[in-house]
Amino acid sequence: MSHSIPLTKESHEALQEELKRLIREERPKVIQDIAEARAHGDLSENAEYDAAKNRQGFIEGRIQEINGKLARAHVVDLTGMNPDKVVFGSYVTLYDTASEEEVTYRIVGEDEADIKLGKISCTSPVGKALIGHKLDDTVKVTVPAGTKEYEIIDIKYE
């Protein structure tokens, strides 16, 4: 897994903040919780100790995961670029020709994708199909429900 991971600037900053919080707050707290649970005696029947150790494992695993992502991160900054085509990190407003509705998506990395927030992965069928297209292009996308046709009506880089 040595390939780079594209991240938006916001996602990169959020990962850095989460890492700081885990290292500075969560890790010391769980160490203290383990010490307190140990002081209660027999560890074989100590549910507090087991819970604290499980939490410690989760925290350490998440720290490693974030460190790995940050080490492989390729931060995509679109500041000052001319929004002439759909690229990673861009906001795209689409017109669905079948439903006659407009929808705006941001093209993001897999970890950032959240359809409820209008963020779609660059590796999703829609994300893949949109990348590289320009304003007023019509894009056909094969999705599980069939084929959708979108017209790109706006592209923004923020």
More confident position, 73 or 2: 73
Share of the chain above pLDDT 90, in %: 61
> Which pTM was predicted?
0.77
Give the tens place of pLDDT for each residue, 28-64. 999 999 998 888 776 667 788 889 999 999 999 999 9
Which burial class, exposed, middle or buried, applies to 3 when counting CB atoms under 10 A from its CB (0-12, 13-18, 19+)?
A: exposed
> What is the DSSP secondary structure assignment for residue 147, as one 8-state letter?
E
List of residues 6+ apart from 43 with CB closer than 8 A: 37, 49
pLDDT of residue 47: 84
List of residues 6+ apart from 111 with CB closer than 8 A: 5, 7, 11, 69
More confident position, 123 or 43: 123
pLDDT of residue 107: 94
| Position 6 pLDDT exceeds 70 | yes
Give the tens place of pLDDT for each residue, 101-115. 999 999 999 888 999
Provide the β-strand partners of residue 103: 94
pLDDT of residue 69: 92
pLDDT of residue 2: 58
Containing 66, the helix (H) or strand (E) segment is helix 47-72
| Position 73 pLDDT exceeds 50 | yes
Class of domain 5-76: mainly alpha
pLDDT of residue 1: 46
Assess if CATH 3.10.50.30 describes domain 91-156: yes
Q: What is the pLDDT averaged over residues 136-153?
A: 90
Domain boundaries, the chain: 5-76, 91-156
